[in-house]
Structure 1
């Protein structure tokens, strides 16, 4: 069994055996899941991408001022290249771009397209779990580094996990490096509910696709049609929660393990924490980063922060 599949199997068995049951959100992003997420970013209800693109477009020059000449740009969880293109257009003096993503298929596709559109820019893709420490290409060793982590992905971590991720990124990028991070802001529960419960049902398909992947890749006996998507805003925790809820009592079998589900029992698949700029700056500071600047869209839905490593 391939190492990635072994890890996937172990995480699924551990998560379904936990109480309450859970699955890591990084396993959303196989080829089908990545395509569905791209569809989500185009939805009217999903404000995140639209608001962040507004920030990156309006403040590209200001953001670029925090990036030293000759830097290597490292994007954590690169996915589709829509947002990075906003920065690449504003940063003509980069010496390299390192997209890092767990989705091998999407990574290769986007790297090829960027190499075609920016032929003078070396592109060094890394297929790995970006939430852990990893080695940068040898060609990037002597260049200043800038990280890029757009979207609301930082909110998918528990706060202590977000702090750990930022500390790992500081170690990967090195002292004095910059980090451009997108952070979703607190807003009305109605706006948040609509964003994660779109009328077209694409977010539901995205959530349920994880079960399809488990069945296909792990040869598990699990029926995705026996579950439904459920997302809600937890006001006390300041986070959206996504769950897969069993629509009937059933037993799921994975690699010789059996997991009982009661009717209405859920698998917790994702959190998306929302921050104020001040609370995020405090979290980043605990991980060794100083906030140099931050920007928001006109409606105050999203924010982008320029951090500097003081580790």
Structure 2
């Protein structure tokens, strides 16, 4: 018997777990096909792995969006009221918000992220570099309603949602997120949002199947997170990372594929996997400008301006709440 596997199987369940993570993990692994929400990628390890992904030569979204923010910063600033509070949904590293800070006068910055440790680290670094900026981090699931800090209640609000994270939602959930963000930010708010555009399949495949395997590590980390936090006994070596483009749904799909039939224990439950069975871990929808603007309208936002790169790989939209 493999001693390493036996030790995993006898691992004790943790005495304290995140109830939302536990509930969603059990529910997702009980479905067919199995699934896990991509928001659980972003513990501290996953957040750092994603920052490595953004630097990969194959991964065009980050550098393309950064170029748009640099080249059109002054025009973007014209869409933002002075001394507004900038509320970043799903704040990761501060690279993109720093570009806005170069051209826009904000009264406060409110980074919101599910990964509290990573959020606190990034807020500390930003405060050191911008001591005049009032930074109010909020550890929360940005897909649900949450209260904004009372310090910004009387400021104009601007939402910031870069990185085409909107593409990780199914269209109905993307609409629900935008409607929820509108409710949080309030009447008259603005929103700056990055949206990945439709493009050739080879470019998309390379971006999500990088040659050095960082995206695979990022995908597999969700299994390790269930081991660490939920007492599961996944063996990540039993799964392969796979990303493919679904033409019909205009989306990249990321999966973890079981190499063999086996069972996993977690939170007192047993989850069986067949050979080649998948856990669907993420979708990344690609939009045309017109399709995204129609989605925004349905959620109560009015499209204002849109900026793209020279190759029309990526877009940054300014929206206004009606």
TM-score, scaled relative to structure 1: 0.98
Q: Which residue of 1 aligns with 2:126?
A: 114
Q: Which residue of 2 aligns with 1:68?
A: 81
The runs of 5 or more residues in structure 1 that have no matched partner are none
Q: Which residue of 2 aligns with 1:18?
A: 31
Matched residue SS, 1:12: helix
Does residue 177 of structure 1 match 2:192? Answer: no
Does residue 143 of structure 1 match 2:155? Answer: yes
Q: 1:79 aligns with which of 63, 74, 92?
A: 92
- Distance (Å, rounded) in 2 between the aligned partners of 1:4 and 1:114: 30
Kindly tell me: are residues 55 and 3 of structure 1, through their superposed partners in 2, closer, same or farther at Cα, counting changes over 3 Å? farther
Q: Which runs of 4+ in 1 moved over 4 A?
A: 1-4
* 1:227-284 Cα distance to aligned partner (Å, 9 max, x none): 0101000011000000000001000111111111100000000000000010000000
- Distance (Å, rounded) in 1 between the aligned partners of 2:103 and 2:280: 39
Shift of 1:3: 8.4
* 1:41-81 Cα distance to aligned partner (Å, 9 max, x none): 00000000000000000000100111111200000001100
- Distance (Å, rounded) in 2 between the aligned partners of 1:122 and 1:308: 24
Kindly tell me: are residues 257 and 25 of structure 1, through their superposed partners in 2, closer, same or farther at Cα, counting changes over 3 Å? same
**RMSD of the TM alignment (CA)?**
1.1
Kindly tell me: are residues 3 and 145 of structure 1, through their superposed partners in 2, closer, same or farther at Cα, counting changes over 3 Å? farther
Q: Which residue of 1 aligns with 2:138?
A: 126
Q: 1:56 aligns with which of 50, 63, 69?
A: 69
Shift of 1:214: 0.4
Matched residue SS, 2:93: coil
Shift of 1:2: 8.9
Aligned residues: 309
Q: Which residue of 2 aligns with 1:278?
A: 290
The runs of 5 or more residues in structure 2 that have no matched partner are 1-13
Q: Which residue of 2 aligns with 1:89?
A: 102
Does residue 255 of structure 1 match 2:260? Answer: no
TM-score, scaled relative to structure 2: 0.94
